[in-house]
Structure 1
Amino acid sequence: MNGLQAYQRVNTQTSITDADPHKLIQLLYNGALERINMAKARMQAKDFEGKGRLISKTIEIIGGLRSFLDFEKGGELVQRLEALYDYMERALFDANRLNDVAKLDEVSSLLRQVKDGWDSIREEVLGGQQAAV
């Protein structure tokens, strides 16, 4: 492992350790988006094994996001999010199987929209002030 990778691993572990639940979900969204971008690059480079690993990891992250859903308190919004996460997982599976960059772009766009909504919740809770990160 080179120095940069070691630094990134320690930095990521520190971020996760110090994260509150809201920040942890933000990190999951960021990780999923990052892996989709990396998978797209691997797909375009015809590194299908690397692409497959990255898409599989993205599907795992979306499964992690799904595990945070609170069906008792979330009502219809949680049901819609679960359906959206299910759609994203299936779209990623298809993107992997068909080497479909457009599917990766679609899931990335959906994730960004949900992430933007999640980020705005934090701003509302903090009264527009950013938390110390």
Structure 2
Amino acid sequence: MYTPPSLRAANAYRTVGVQSSVDGADPHQLVVLLFDGLQQALQAARGALQRGDVAAKGLQVMRALRFLEEGLKGGLDDERGGELAARLRALYDYCIERITLANVRNDGDLLAEVAALIAPVAESWQAIGPRRHG
């Protein structure tokens, strides 16, 4: 059964428990929310690492991984997205690997690396915005 990318993104966003309403958000805004949630989870995981709060770090790492895997990567449309979708998938896969390694090694620098890699993609996505005709 085919699930549209926007619905997959909305479901993933709800699943990871982000405190924001996705009801009524357009597909573009849903992706913005996913990027925001990912960045927040990465920042919270780094903070937990600095405090030595292993449980909180683990929770935030799992949130970040789910934003990437279920939301951003799950929302890619390889057929229509072509090379861009393939490149984004490769970036998301790399970020998933780095976050996993950061979790195992308790390495905040790896989390910062992922945040730095994702930031320009998130900013670009936000900048293009939905095209409104009126």
TM range (shorter): 0.7 to 0.9
What's the offset of the Cα at 1:53? 1.0
SS in 2 for 1:57: helix
Give the TM-score, by structure 2 length.
Answer: 0.81
Equivalent of 1:54, from 54, 60, 66? 60
Q: 1:10 to 1:66 in 2, by over 3 A?
A: closer
Q: Return structure 1 stretches of 4+ with deviation > 4 angstroms.
A: none
Q: d(CA) in 2 for partners of 1:83 and 1:10?
A: 25
1:1-133 equivalence runs, <5 A: 12=20, 14=21, 16-63=22-69, 64-122=71-129, 125-126=131-132
- Compare CA radii of gyration and give the structure with the larger one: 1
More helix by share: 1
Number of equivalences:
116
Using CA pairs under 8 Å that are at least 6 residues apart, name the structure with larger relative contact order, 1 or 2.
2
Instruction: Give the AA of the match of 2:123.
Output: D
RMSD of aligned Cα (Å): 1.8
Structure 1 segments unaligned to the other structure (5+ residues):
1-8, 128-133
| TM-score, length of structure 1 as denominator length | 0.81
One-letter identity of the residue aligned with 1:41: G
